[in-house]
Amino acid sequence: MPAERIDGVAIAAKVRARVAAEAATLGALGVQPGLTVVLVGDDPASAFYVGAKEKACREAGMRGETIRLPAATPEAELLAVIDRLNADPAVHGILVQMPVPKHMDPQKVIRRIDPTKDVDGFHPVNAGKVLIGDADGFAPCTPAGVQVLLAESGVETAGKEAVILGRSTIVGKPMAALLMQAGRGADCTVTVCHSRTKDLAAHTRRADILIAAIGRPEMVTADMVKPGAVVIDVGINRVDDPATKKGYRIVGDVRFDEVAAVASRITPVPGGVGPMTIAMLLANTVRAARLRHEGAART
C-alpha cells in the first residue's frame, strides 16, 4: 500500500489558526505580538521569504514589520538596529534574514539578538536550552515544525529509531536534540549521519523515522528505507527541467514516488516541511509575547 501523505499545508494552517487565536487572546490583554525581520541587501530569494513572513504575521493578527537595509550597511549599523529592537517593548521577535552580506559575521549578528526575542532559535542560549530540554527555549523553526508534523500525524515517537541525515546547526543538530528529549513527540533513539558517515544505507535502513536534510536532490532511494518507515523530507532543491515553464522544478532529498511505495507515511516537497517553517516562526513569536507579558522571559 502506498504511503499516506503528511499534509504540511493543512497542518501548518492548523498551527497558524492556533497562533491567531493566541494573538487574539493576547490582544484582549493589550498585547499585540510583533515580529521584526531585518533584511540586509536585495537577494531576491531572501526578499521573497521576508515578504512571506510579514504577510503571515498580519494574517495571524500580529504586527509584522520589515526593516530593509542596503547591502553595503556597515556591520556596526546592523548591530545598532538590533540593539534598538532588543530595547523596544513592542517587538517580541527579531529575525535577521540569513545569509547576511559577506562583510558581516553572522555569529556576531545572531549573538547580538536578545535570546528572549530570538524566535529563529539560532542564538547559542536557545541552542543550549533546546539541548538540555528547557521548555523556555526557542527551537529553530524547521526542526520544530518537523516535530509538530509527526505529532499532528499521530506518529508514535517513543522508543523509535530516528535517523537524521544532515548535521547543520539549523536543521540536523537541533532535530536530534528535540527527538532525543524525554517527553511527548520525542523519546527517540537518534542517529545523526553526515557526509563522513560510512555506509549511509546501513543506518537509514534501521530508521523507523527517517529525516532527510542534506540538500542533495532525490538522494534517498527506496532501497535505503525500511518498509513501513515514516519519511520526512526537509530538502528543497532546484533541478533543471526544460519541460516546465520556469525551466526548473523543486524536489526534495527523497525520491518521492519510489520511497512512497515502501514507507508508511511521507512528506511531499513542496507541501510538506516547507509550510511548517513560517508557521513555527509565528508560534515562537506569539510565545515570546506571552512570556514577556507574564514576565517569564528569561535567558
What residues make contact with ligand NDP under the rule CB under 6 A?
Answer: 142, 165-168, 170-172, 193-197, 200, 213-216, 234-237, 273-274, 277
Residue with cell 513592542: 90
The active-site residue, picked from 53, 129, 160, 226, is 53
Shortest spacing between CB 96 and ligand NDP, in angstroms: 16
Shortest spacing between CB 199 and ligand NDP, in angstroms: 11
Q: Which residues contact 131 (CB under 8 A, 6 or more apart)?
A: 177
What residues does 63 pair with on adjacent strands? 34
Shortest spacing between CB 186 and ligand NDP, in angstroms: 20
- When the beta carbons of 26 and 280 are compared against ligand NDP, the nearer one is 280
Per the CB < 8 A criterion, the answer to whether 193 and 182 are in contact is no
Report which residue's Cβ sits closest to ligand NDP.
168
Helix (H) or strand (E) holding 34: strand 34-40
Catalytic residue list contains 118:
no
CA 112, distance to chain mean position in Å, is 21
Per the CB < 8 A criterion, the answer to whether 130 and 177 are in contact is yes
The active-site residue, picked from 114, 117, 118, 120, is 120
Distances (CA, A) of 13 to 5, 62, 283: 16, 16, 12
Three-state DSSP state, 159:
coil
Per the CB < 8 A criterion, the answer to whether 189 and 163 are in contact is no
- When the beta carbons of 81 and 165 are compared against ligand NDP, the nearer one is 165
The active-site residue, picked from 97, 118, 181, 208, is 97
- When the beta carbons of 16 and 63 are compared against ligand NDP, the nearer one is 16
Three-state DSSP state, 14:
helix
Catalytic residue list contains 120:
yes
What is the chain's alpha carbon radius of gyration, rounded to the nearest angstrom? 19
- When the beta carbons of 184 and 194 are compared against ligand NDP, the nearer one is 194
Catalytic residue list contains 53:
yes
Shortest spacing between CB 86 and ligand NDP, in angstroms: 25
User: What's the half-sphere exposure (Cβ side, CA atoms, 13 Å) at 103?
Assistant: 11
Closest by alpha carbon to 112, among 72, 59, 76?
Answer: 76
- When the beta carbons of 62 and 141 are compared against ligand NDP, the nearer one is 141
Shortest spacing between CB 247 and ligand NDP, in angstroms: 19
Give the active site residues. Answer: 53, 97, 120
